[in-house]
Structure 1
């Protein structure tokens, strides 16, 4: 189960009893309200998964770990790409606009961040100024010219859209990969490092 869990997955089943006594009250309130936690890109001990708890405020983010055997439900970002919500917000309109274009791109994509959280559980997380966070599963290399074409599609959206390419070895920002820099920042559970090719972890920058 641990190997199957990926960053941005949403998990249900964590309870306040699994937290330490000095945990902020808002974290306990979030869990008692039935909110899921989100899988973080971090190393954890066997039988545990690194997760984050969201609060009502942007700065309310709490890092902790969750027992794997406590997981009752899992929702992946790609499970949410066809889910709709009836809210008149720029990020929602952008998602509706981009959905058919991304469906036709030939890659598996999904919704993460505040939009993914709200789509998955119904708790209001989006506001008028929210960005739209997306992921693209790229088990094989995505060419830089393809990345540039995708950026053009995203730039036509009604709000800022941040897409991460999820390679087998970590995540890289689409806009960075579409740019002119020879090396790009690859983030995985252990480190963030500059690489020439995000699909070849041997090519780390010194």
Structure 2
């Protein structure tokens, strides 16, 4: 698993010439400016990786793939936990507030979404109303009671915080796992399905 590219990883190396011929002009502009692409949860050919391109507008998201041989740099969400870019925005204030709790949690965590993109690339992606997106690497089960306590910490911040639990079988939203729902939505490269236990998705309701 060491060399596997994971969802939310940021990759550099795509050039405008490598984009599909019908790629929108804003995609070409983003890549030409040197922006990274983000790894998506989707299947791809063995020598390709499914990625997405971000535009300046929220609705500007473009799905494509890139050759693994073209990758020149990779930044993972957990590398961004303690990056400081000196901007005073709610999402970054929330990150500062949550950092001690996340560091003390015992789990590996990281920053994804707009905050992760800006922290890694330097390209402005955050604004006053931006959510903060986080991931938590949870190779072993996280108790639902512990998940509920974490949600309480998230809700005590200055902006909406969305945290995904990254299990060996896919991702599940912390808020959903902390809820009273018997089954939760687990997302992986091939599907999104309702499961009782994200760490044992084969277990089904009787």
Q: Output the TM-score relative to the length of structure 1.
A: 0.97
Return the alpha-carbon distance in structure 1 between the equivalents of residues 66 and 205 of structure 2: 33
Aligned residues: 206
Return the alpha-carbon distance in structure 2 between the equivalents of residues 98 and 83 of structure 1: 14
Instruction: Tell me by how many angstroms 1:84 deviates.
Output: 1.1
Could you say which residue in structure 1 is the equivalent of 2:26? 26
Q: Secondary structure at the match of 1:133?
A: strand
Could you say which residue in structure 2 is the equivalent of 1:49? 49
Residues 99-126 of structure 1: CA deviation (Å, up to 9, x unaligned): 1111011100000000000000100000
Moved more, 182-191 or 19-28: 19-28
Q: Output the TM-score relative to the length of structure 2.
A: 0.97
Instruction: Tell me by how many angstroms 1:204 deviates.
Output: 4.7
Could you say which residue in structure 2 is the equivalent of 1:134? 134
Return the alpha-carbon distance in structure 2 between the equivalents of residues 204 and 70 of structure 1: 41
Return the alpha-carbon distance in structure 1 between the equivalents of residues 72 and 205 of structure 2: 40
Instruction: Tell me by how many angstroms 1:201 deviates.
Output: 2.1
Query: Is residue 2:83 matched to residue 1:86?
Result: no
- In structure 2, the CA distance between the partners of 1:74 and 1:205, relative to structure 1 (3 Å rule), is farther
Instruction: Tell me by how many angstroms 1:203 deviates.
Output: 1.9
Unpaired runs of 5+ residues, structure 1, are none
Query: Is residue 2:99 matched to residue 1:99?
Result: yes
Moved over 4 A (4+): none
Could you say which residue in structure 2 is the equivalent of 1:152? 152
Instruction: Tell me by how many angstroms 1:88 deviates.
Output: 1.2
Could you say which residue in structure 2 is the equivalent of 1:37? 37
Return the alpha-carbon distance in structure 1 between the equivalents of residues 199 and 148 of structure 2: 17
Return the alpha-carbon distance in structure 2 between the equivalents of residues 53 and 117 of structure 1: 11
Return the alpha-carbon distance in structure 2 between the equivalents of residues 20 and 162 of structure 1: 32
Return the alpha-carbon distance in structure 2 between the equivalents of residues 184 and 90 of structure 1: 29
Q: Secondary structure at the match of 1:98?
A: helix
Return the alpha-carbon distance in structure 2 between the equivalents of residues 41 and 2 of structure 1: 17
RMSD: 1.4
Could you say which residue in structure 1 is the equivalent of 2:108? 108
Could you say which residue in structure 1 is the equivalent of 2:58? 58
Q: Secondary structure at the match of 1:182?
A: coil
Mapping 1:69-80, distance limit 5 Å: 69-80=69-80
